[in-house]
Amino acid sequence: MSAELDAFQAALAAEHAAVYGYGVVGGQIGEARRGEARVAWDAHRARRDALARAVRDLGAEPVAANAGYALPFPVDGTSSAVRLAAQLEERIAGVYSDLVRATSGARRGDAAGALREASVRAVRWGGGSVAFPGLAERGGAGAGASAEPGASADSGASAGVTPSG
């Protein structure tokens, strides 16, 4: 596979994991932020679908979602749901930074837009803001994230959840 295709597959795997993670967030978060979680879930579903189309356009079969994912910590209420949402966004920003690096033209613009959106959502969920979103995750700050595009293409670990079972 090419570096571009690897990065697309890794981003797709991360989006599969984020969709799963937001399902958990939505089930545990308080009413006050449930709408925000729904908007994020919808955004990740749309990104996931767009990435699957992009992988097909590159002549490959999109990586499938796992049947289930292990969460990085127990999510049993609003506080932990908000923490998970922030972590999902911070980690997916790292995956999109890899996609920005591996692409050019319109694809790079789309990846940069996804990176920006994830970074804004991370801050809204209470995550920290950084000068260069996505790069902190590549420097070892994000457990489960990989410096190599595609390294997590079959796992979703870069989004903060790992396959279970």
The residue behind tokens 């033209």 is 105
- Give the pLDDT score at 61: 99
Is residue 151 one of the residues assigned to a domain? no
Is residue 160 one of the residues assigned to a domain? no
Bridge partners (DSSP) of residue 162 are: 70
State how far the Cα of 99 lies from the Cα of 12, in Å rounded to an integer: 10
- Give the pLDDT score at 135: 60
Is residue 90 one of the residues assigned to a domain? yes
For range 103-127, the mean pLDDT: 95
Tens-place pLDDT, residues 84-100: 999 999 999 999 999 99
Structure token digits, residue 79: 């506080």
Total tally of structural domains belonging to the chain: 1
CATH number of the domain within which 12 lies = 1.20.1260.10
- Give the pLDDT score at 14: 98
Percent of the chain residues past pLDDT 90, beyond the cut: 75
Q: The domain containing residue 7 runs over which residues? A: 3-142
Q: Is the pLDDT of residue 81 over 90?
A: yes
This prediction has a pTM of: 0.81
Bridge partners (DSSP) of residue 69 are: 163
- Give the pLDDT score at 134: 58
- Give the pLDDT score at 145: 34
- Give the pLDDT score at 67: 94
Phi, psi of 162 (to 5 degrees): -120, 155
Is residue 150 one of the residues assigned to a domain? no
State how far the Cα of 160 lies from the Cα of 89, in Å rounded to an integer: 9
- CA separation, residue 126 to residues 72, 86, 162 (Å): 17, 6, 22
State how far the Cα of 45 lies from the Cα of 133, in Å rounded to an integer: 21
Is residue 164 one of the residues assigned to a domain? no
Instruction: Please indicate whether residue 116 or residue 135 has the higher confidence score (pLDDT).
Output: 116
